[in-house]
Amino acid sequence: MNAHFQSIFALATPMGRSALHLHRLSGENVFAILSPYILSPHNKKSVDLVSLAKKSEGRACTRYVYIIDQEKNEIDDVVLTIFPAPKSYSGENIIEISVHGNPLISAKLQSLLRSIGMRDAQPGEFTQRAVLNGKIDLAQAEGINQLIHAETLGGVELARHTVDGVLSRETGDLRAQIISILAYLEAHIDFAPDEVGDYEPASLLPQIHAVIERLNKLHATFSSGLKMREGVKVVLLGKPNAGKSSLYNALLRYDRAIVTHIPGTTRDVLEDRLVIQNKDFVLLDTAGIRATEDEVERIGVERSLQSALSADVICLVIDIHKLDCSQIHDHILSEIIQFFSSVKLAEEQKIIPVVSKQDLLTDEQISMLHEFNQNFLKLTKDLEYKNCLNNNLVLISSVNTELLCKNLVNHHSLIIGEVSKKENPTLISVRQKDKVLNAINSLNECSKLIAIKDYPEKIASLINHSKHSLEEIVGEIHLDNVLDKIFSTFCIGK
């Protein structure tokens, strides 16, 4: 028998003490192998799983039964479900057994399974078999792995889309387009011009460019997908005592950062996950930015500026509560200008100026802020990098973070863009991204050969490369070492 297809088993739930342990068995012969050890609770006669599968007409079927060992000692009373092939996760016959969640019971069951000819499954081996049996493709298998390992809601959502086949359909469509380009070239390789017309490869360019454009769009989904999986990075920056750590704690809803009236309290960069309206963020609190002789604080300031470089959104926290109304406009502008001069931002990085300590502000100060907002465009028009400014608005916020949260959620949608929609494909692994890049490179190379009207054989070979790269995404071409590498990161029992 092919080693790949020996019957395998694994505990699919963690091996701790819990209400239940779920064991999973997969293989052509599992029903026959296990039947002698399954007893009906009523008459203590063995339950023939092979005939049960026949009776259930290929559908899953669940029974409450006893499992005994080779000496006919009872191992446990269990709930057992059979999934006859091909309507099972792996495409083979599968049995799932829920035993009482005691490691000793599970160990007894596993030792029975080993002694009756099954072996322990490798990580991801059930899913690997699902791929080999054509139940799912490789991209979907990667989705399943991420569905289990994702640490954010966004990560789960993207993995879900991939498991549902959104990426597989996109690569399938692109592949079909590439094949139609290939058909033209192959016609000119196989037949003379009087049969298939003159060889005019330039006529393929619009189609090739359309595919490249679609591939480029797909390639770009990797980084926005990564942000959706890991969270949009929000950094709180500002002068010492501006109220950054207080805002940090208010957003996180617990006292995470130390807050004191002493300037320079925060030294290290603090980082936490934050979820607002099911959107994932990574929130960073930083040391206040100022020139300082204190060696530790100086390092803290450097780290603050460093973290700004990798931020998606920077909340520039500004304290105006001690200022005269007449000073407010100039003060906010100068903080923004100082910030732009200390950190060189990319256009896609956004700044939200946030005025803190709302409760300490007078009505006059607040109306000055409203006035500032109304004239924001005019006031900031000469600023370099003004594209980075959020919606041209200064928010008033401190312990009341509602408005800021609303803004962060809006930013999240802008940054993540289309990838969050379930109909849009997203690349979820570096492997997939590399394959798309290979496909793009081959097609770009193709355009160059077309420009010099090179032989159809040479152009076709490059088109074939790009087709193969797309096929590798879904695993239509699979090499054993690639599969082993991918599945080694899976859980045992999946």
Ligand X SMILES: Nc1nc2c(ncn2[C@@H]2O[C@H](COP(=O)(O)OP(=O)(O)O)[C@@H](O)[C@H]2O)c(=O)[nH]1
Among 140, 266, 429, 466, binds ligand X (CB under 6 A): 266
Answer yes or no whether residue 360 interacts with ligand X by CB under 6 A.
yes
The verdict on 307 binding ligand X (CB under 6 A) reads no
Binding range to ligand X, per CB under 6 A, among 18-26, 256-264, 414-422, 435-443: 256-264
Output helix, strand, coil percentages for the chain, rounded to the nearest 5. Answer: 50, 15, 35
- For residue 410, the partner it binds in Mg ion, ligand X, none, with Cβ less than 5 to 8 A by kind, is none
Decide if 379 contacts 389 (C-beta within 8 A): no
Taking the CB of residue 276, how many other CB atoms lie within 10 A of it? 18
The CA distances from residue 231 to 148, 168, 209, 256, 283, in Å, are 17, 25, 33, 19, 9
245 assigned ligand-binding residue: yes
Which of Mg ion, ligand X, none sits in contact with 397, Cβ below 5 to 8 A by type?
none
Is 266 part of any known ligand binding site? yes
Instruction: Judge whether 484 is annotated as a binding position.
Output: no
Residue 262 annotated as part of some ligand binding site: yes
Among 106, 245, 401, 426, binds ligand X (CB under 6 A): 245
CB of 364 to ligand X, least distance (A): 18
DSSP string of 31-97?
HHHHGGGEE-TTT-PBP-HHHHHHHTTTS-EEEEEEEE-TTS-EEEEEEEEEE-TTSSSSSS-EEEE
Amino acid at 427: L
DSSP conformation letters of 434-469: HHHHHHHHHHHHHHHHHHTT--HHHHHHHHHHHHHH
CB 320 → ligand X: shortest distance, Å? 12
Which range in 203-211, 306-314, 352-360, 427-435 contacts ligand X by CB under 6 A? 352-360
Question: Could you tell me the smallest distance in angstroms from the CB atom of residue 294 to ligand X?
Answer: 14
**Which of 42, 253, 261, 322 touches ligand X by CB under 6 A?**
261
Query: What does R_g of the chain's alpha carbons equal in angstroms?
Result: 31
Q: How far apart are CA 260 and CA 280, in angstroms?
A: 29
355 phi and psi angles, rounded to 5 deg: -85, 130
Q: Is 401 annotated as a binding residue?
A: no
243 binds ligand X (CB under 6 A): yes
Bridge partners of residue 74, in order along the sequence: 68
Relative to beta strand 8-11, strand 119-120 is parallel
- In degrees, rounded to 5, the angle at the alpha carbon of residue 95 between the alpha carbons of residues 93 and 99 is 175
Residue 401 binds ligand X (CB under 6 A): no
Q: Which is nearer to ligand X, 34 or 314 (CB)?
A: 314
Q: Does 240 bind ligand X (CB under 6 A)?
A: yes
Q: Is 292 annotated as a binding residue?
A: no
Under rule CB under 6 A, residue 246 binds ligand X: yes
Q: Is 359 in the site for ligand X (CB under 6 A)?
A: yes
CA atoms within 13 A on the CB side of 231: 20
The three-class DSSP label of residue 476 is coil
Is 241 a known ligand-binding residue?
Answer: yes
Stretch that binds ligand X, among 36-44, 111-119, 181-189, 255-263 (CB under 6 A): 255-263
Amino acid in the structure at residue 172: G
Closest to ligand X by CB, 127 or 245: 245
106 lines the binding site for ligand X (CB under 6 A): no
Give the nearest residue (CB) to ligand X: 398
Minimal distance, residue 296 CB to ligand X, in Å: 15
The binder of ligand X chosen from 26, 106, 241, 304 (CB under 6 A) = 241
Part in contact with ligand X (CB under 6 A); list of ranges 116-124, 226-234, 240-248, 334-342: 240-248
Q: 3-class DSSP state for residue 414?
A: helix
**489 annotated as a binding-site residue:** no
Helices (H), 150-243: 153-163, 166-190, 193-196, 205-230
Residue pair 290/302 in contact by the 8 Å Cβ criterion = no
Interface with ligand X by CB under 6 A: which range of 51-59, 161-169, 191-199, 356-364?
356-364
Name the residues that contact Mg ion, by CB under 5 A: 244-245, 266
Tokens 């939200």, residue located: 352
Interface positions with ligand X (CB under 6 A): 238, 240-246, 259-261, 265-266, 288, 356-357, 359-360, 398-399
Q: Which residues are annotated as a binding site for K(+)?
A: 241, 260, 262, 265
Q: Which residues are annotated as a binding site for (6S)-5-formyl-5,6,7,8-tetrahydrofolate?
A: 24, 96, 135, 494
